Amino acid sequence: MTWLLGTVLGLGALLAVSPWLWPRRERAVEPRPRARLLDRLTHAGLDGIPPLALGAVSLLLGVLACGLALAIAPVAAVAAAALVVGAAAPVLAVRWRAARRRRAQASVWPDVVDHLVSAVRSGLALPDAVAQLERAGPAITRPAFAAYAADHRATGSFGYALDRLKDRLADPVGDRIIETLRMAREVGGTEVTTVLRELAAYLRADLATRGELEARQTWIVGAARLGVAAPWIVLLILSTRPEAAQAYNSSGGIALIAGGAVVTGIAYRVMLRIGALPTEARWFA
pLDDT tens figures, 64-104: 988 888 888 788 888 888 898 888 888 888 888 887 887 78
Residue 190: the pLDDT is 67
With 50 as the cut, is the pLDDT of residue 197 above it? yes
For residues 51 and 136, membership in a common domain is answered with: no
How many CB atoms are located within 10 Å of the residue 36 CB? Answer: 11
- Cα dist from 8 to 1, 12, 45, 108, whole Å: 11, 6, 45, 50
Q: Tell me the pLDDT tens digit for each residue of 162-195.
A: 888 888 887 888 888 888 888 877 776 667 788 8
For residues 185 and 128, membership in a common domain is answered with: yes
The answer to whether residue 117 is domain-embedded is yes
pLDDT band of residue 29 (cuts 50, 70, 90) is very low
For residues 121 and 194, membership in a common domain is answered with: yes
CA–CA gap between residue 77 and residue 79 (Å, rounded): 5
How many CB atoms are located within 10 Å of the residue 85 CB? Answer: 17
For residues 66 and 84, membership in a common domain is answered with: yes
- Cα dist from 240 to 45, 72, 75, 187, 247, whole Å: 40, 6, 9, 71, 12
With 50 as the cut, is the pLDDT of residue 282 above it? yes
With 80 as the cut, is the pLDDT of residue 274 above it? no
For residues 187 and 122, membership in a common domain is answered with: yes
For residues 165 and 191, membership in a common domain is answered with: yes
The answer to whether residue 251 is domain-embedded is no
Helix or strand run (H / E) with residue 220: helix 192-238
For residues 67 and 88, membership in a common domain is answered with: yes
CA–CA gap between residue 122 and residue 244 (Å, rounded): 75
With 80 as the cut, is the pLDDT of residue 156 above it? yes
The answer to whether residue 6 is domain-embedded is no
What is the mean pLDDT of the segment spanning 202-218? 80
- Give the count of alpha carbons within 13 A of 139, CB side only: 2
CA–CA gap between residue 176 and residue 209 (Å, rounded): 20
Per the CB < 8 A criterion, the answer to whether 112 and 141 are in contact is: yes
Residue 250: the pLDDT is 85
Last residue of a domain, one of 146, 178, 204: 204
Question: 46 in helix, strand or coil?
Answer: coil
Last residue of a domain, one of 84, 104, 124: 104
Residue 61: the pLDDT is 92
Per the CB < 8 A criterion, the answer to whether 181 and 126 are in contact is: yes
Domain around 73: 30-104
For residues 132 and 197, membership in a common domain is answered with: yes
The answer to whether residue 234 is domain-embedded is no
For residues 90 and 120, membership in a common domain is answered with: no
The answer to whether residue 77 is domain-embedded is yes
Tell me which DSSP letter residue 250 carries.
Answer: S
The answer to whether residue 121 is domain-embedded is yes
Residue 245: the pLDDT is 83
- Structurally, the chain folds into a number of domains equal to 2
- Cα dist from 22 to 16, 25, 29, 186, whole Å: 11, 9, 16, 40
Question: Which amino acid makes up residue 61?
Answer: L
Q: Select from 219, 250, 205, 188 the least CA-distant residue to 110.
A: 205
pTM of whole model > 0.75?
no
The answer to whether residue 14 is domain-embedded is no
Residue 22: the pLDDT is 67
For residues 97 and 114, membership in a common domain is answered with: no
With 70 as the cut, is the pLDDT of residue 230 above it? yes
Beta strands per DSSP E along 97-227 = none
Last residue of a domain, one of 59, 80, 104: 104
With 60 as the cut, is the pLDDT of residue 115 above it? yes
- What's the alpha-carbon Rg for the chain, to the nearest Å? 25
Residue 30: the pLDDT is 47
What is the mean pLDDT of the segment spanning 155-160? 87
For residues 128 and 186, membership in a common domain is answered with: yes
The answer to whether residue 274 is domain-embedded is no
With 60 as the cut, is the pLDDT of residue 28 above it? no
What is the mean pLDDT of the segment spanning 24-36? 56
pLDDT band of residue 283 (cuts 50, 70, 90) is low
For residues 173 and 129, membership in a common domain is answered with: yes
Q: Select from 23, 45, 53, 47 the least CA-distant residue to 35.
A: 47
- What rounded mean pLDDT belongs to the chain? 80
